[in-house]
Chain A
Amino acid sequence: MRKNGFARHALIETLHTVQSSFGYLDDDSIRFVAQSLHVPLSQAYGVATFYHYFTLKPPGKHTITVCAGTACYIKGADKLIAAAERRLCIKQGQTTPDGQVSLMVARCVGACSRAPVALCDGQVAGEVTEEQMLEQLERWKAE
Chain B
Amino acid sequence: MTIEELEQIAKNVKQENEKYDYEINVCMDLACASQGADKLKDALVKAAEAGAKKVLVRRTGCMGPCSHGPLVRVDTRVDPEPRLYRRVNASHADAIVTSLGGAPVPDLRSNLDEHFDKQVRVVLENAGYIDPEKIDDYIARDGYKALLTVLTEMTPNGVVHRITESGLRGRGGGGYPTGLKWGTVAKAAGDLKYVVCNGDEGDPGAFMDRSVMEGDPHRVIEGMAIAAYAVGASKGFIYVRAEYPVAVSRLTTALREARRHGLLGNNICNTPFNFDVEIRLGAGAFVCGEETALIASIEGRRGTPKPRPPYPASSGLWGKPTLINNVETYANIAPIVRNGGKWFFNMGSERSKGTKVFALTGKIANTGLVEVPMGIKLREIIEEIGGGVPDGHTFKAVQTGGPSGGCIPADMLDVGVSYDALLKMGSIMGSGGMIVMDDTSCMVNVARFFIEFCMTESCGKCIPCRAGTAQMFTLLSRICDGTGTMDDLALLEDLCSTVKETSLCGLGQTAPNPVLSTLKYFRNEYIEHIVHKRCPAGVCNMQAAQSEIQSEVMA
Chain A residues near B (Cβ < 8 Å): 7-13, 15-16, 39, 43, 46-47, 50-54, 68-75, 106-115, 117, 123-126
Contacts and interface: CB of A to CB of B under 8 A. Distances in A.
Interface in B276-303: 280-286, 297-303
B437 interface: yes
B283 A43 contact: no
A73 B242 CA distance: 21
A74 B302 contact: no
A11 B300 contact: yes
B243 interface: yes
B391 to A, nearest CB: 12
A11 B281 CA distance: 10
Contacts of B500: none
Given A11-B300, A74-B435, A126-B35, A51 B361 contact: no
B299 A109 contact: no
Interface stretch (B42-50, B126-134, B201-209): B201-209
A70 B435 contact: yes
B30 interface: yes
B31 A114 contact: yes
B533 to A, nearest CB: 21
B204 A111 contact: no
Contact of B284 (A9, A51, A71, A111): A51
A46 B296 CA distance: 13
Contacts of B152: none
Q: 4 closest A-B pairs (Cβ-Cβ)?
A: A69-B204, A51-B283, A113-B66, A53-B284
Contacts of A15: 283
Contact of B300 (A47, A70, A107, A110): A47
A70 B284 contact: no
A88 to B, nearest CB: 21
Nearest to A125: B34
A8 to B, nearest CB: 6
Contacts of B202: 107-108
Interface stretch (B87-95, B104-112, B362-370, B462-470): B362-370
B449 A12 contact: no
16 contacts: A50-B285, A50-B302, A70-B435, A70-B450, A71-B361, A71-B433, A74-B437, A107-B202, A107-B204, A112-B204, A112-B361, A112-B367, A113-B207, A124-B33, A124-B34, A126-B35
A71 B437 CA distance: 9
Contacts of A110: 30, 201, 207, 210, 243-244
B215 interface: no
Given A10-B300, A108-B205, A114 B34 contact: yes
B425 to A, nearest CB: 18
Given A12-B281, A54-B283, A109-B243, A71 B303 contact: no
B67 A114 contact: yes
Interface of B: 30-31, 33-35, 66-67, 69, 201-207, 210, 242-244, 280-286, 297-303, 359-363, 367-369, 399, 402-403, 433, 435, 437, 441, 446, 449-450, 453, 457, 459
Contact of A113 (B361, B402, B457): B361
Contacts of A39: 300
Given A12-B283, A16-B281, A54-B283, A111 B30 contact: yes
Contacts of A75: 362-363
Contacts of B204: 68-73, 107-108, 112
Contacts of A11: 300-301
Most chain B CB neighbours (cut-off 10 Å) among A46, A52, A54 = A52
Given A70-B433, A71-B362, A112-B206, A52 B298 contact: no
B363 A74 contact: yes
A11 to B, nearest CB: 4
A110 B399 CA distance: 17
B34 A108 contact: no
A108 B303 CA distance: 19
B300 A8 contact: yes
Contacts of A12: 280-283, 297, 300
B300 A9 contact: yes
